[in-house]
Each structure stands twice: as structure tokens, then as C-alpha cells.
Amino acid sequence: MIKVEKLSHSFFVGKKNNRQEVSVLKDINLEVGKGEIVSIIGRSGSGKSTLLNLMSGYIKPTEGDIFIAGERVTDYKESVWAEFRSDHLGFIFQSFQLIPSMTAYQNIELPLVMKGVPEKERESRVNAMLDKVGLNEFREHYPSELSGGQQQRVSVARALIVQPPIILADEPTGSLDQETEKELLGFIQELNKEENITFVIITHDEEVARMADRTIRLEDGRLAADREVAAR
């Protein structure tokens, strides 16, 4: 589902006449298969978030290629990327990124509104998703009225509502307590098994890494290890 080839990325710091190039990622090669759960681990500054942003199309690589669902997306313009993201990618964030003035229902519905899905179809899909994530009774609650775990479930539901084949998650358990984290990881495994959704998860958490099928470790911008995790 995802393939990166000889991927490198740098940025520049300093003023125009004294600019310095800072290398963030160096010659990364990796593949993520359909239905895999892959965790990407490493110290702060190792390049994890940069790699996720490259896969998301929010930044363009300095060198190398990115393929998603068989398409070379490296040179897509932002307008093309935006449409591609809406069809192929869902996102889960540590900070949830819910809209505080919208209810749980409205937050989940928003991607369908943006895609122009008719109201009756939106209602049917959102209701089914609320049941799936166990939040039907909280449908009219605003984010401030939900626990951290409930907010993250709304975030997951919003990511899933357009039925993307790939979910990219950036520290999805970072704001959760241990018990809520365990519930969320179980839910991710359930979705992976039932829907064959591919997950790429950036994490510092060894518990998350153990839940994955594979763990990729980055060190100083390089791929230091790519190993299968023992059967779950």
C-alpha cells in the first residue's frame, strides 16, 4: 500500500547569505503491505514525524519517490494531493484535533460534508460509525464534554468515515491513560482484522510497538531496523 524509495529530506536554516542544510531523513527504503500495522519508533528528532508528513503529502521530499496504493504521488500538486488524501488516507492525532463547536456527530460527519455526500447517506454512515466506536449515546456531546478516550474514538471515527484503506497515526495514545490506551489499541487491532485497514503509527510507546505486525526504528534520519513483531 505504501512504498518509499531512496527517500531523503532536508531543510535550510539561517539567513539567505548564511544558509545551512539540515538533513532529516537519509535514503529511506521501506514498504508497508495492505492490512499491516506498522509502528515507527525512534528518539525525538529521528525523523518519524517528517516521514509521516512526507507520506501524507504535506511536505515534498528533497530526493526519492513515494508510492501509495500503486500511484506515484511524489510530485502531486496540493490540489491533487487533497483529493487523493480524502480518498485514500485517514489521520489520527495525539491532540485529537476535534472542532470544539461541533458535536461528536458533527465532527465525524465533517469529512462527508466536505466530499459532498448527500445528507441521508451521511446520516446512515455516521450512525453506523457511532455504533462501531461505541459512542452512540454521546452523539450530541461536544468535545469538552467527553473523556480523552472518547475524544480519541471520535477522532478515529472521523478518520474512518470516508472508508480509507490507510490510516496514518501520530502518537495516537500520547494523551491517554494506560487503561484508555489499552482500549484504543484493542480497537485498532479489531478494525485492522475486520476491515483490513493498513495502519502506520508513529509512537514512543513500546506497548504500541508490540501491538504492531512490524516495527521500524529510525536513528538520526536513517532506517536502523525493520523487524517483525512476535505473533500477537
76-96 residue pLDDT tens? 999 999 989 988 999 988 788
Report all structural domains of the chain as residue ranges with CATH numbers, in order of start.
Answer: 2-228 (3.40.50.300)
pLDDT digits (tens, 9 = 90+) for 188-208: 888 889 889 999 999 988 888
pLDDT(231) > 60? no
Q: Is the pTM of this model over 0.85?
A: yes
Question: Cα separation of 49 and 16, whole Å?
Answer: 26
- Contact 28/51 with Cβ under 8 angstroms? yes
- Contact 181/153 with Cβ under 8 angstroms? no
Choice among 13-27, 45-59, 65-79 with the minimum mean pLDDT: 13-27
Question: Cα separation of 24 and 10, whole Å?
Answer: 5
pLDDT at 18: 77
Confidence band (pLDDT; 50, 70, 90) for 123? very high
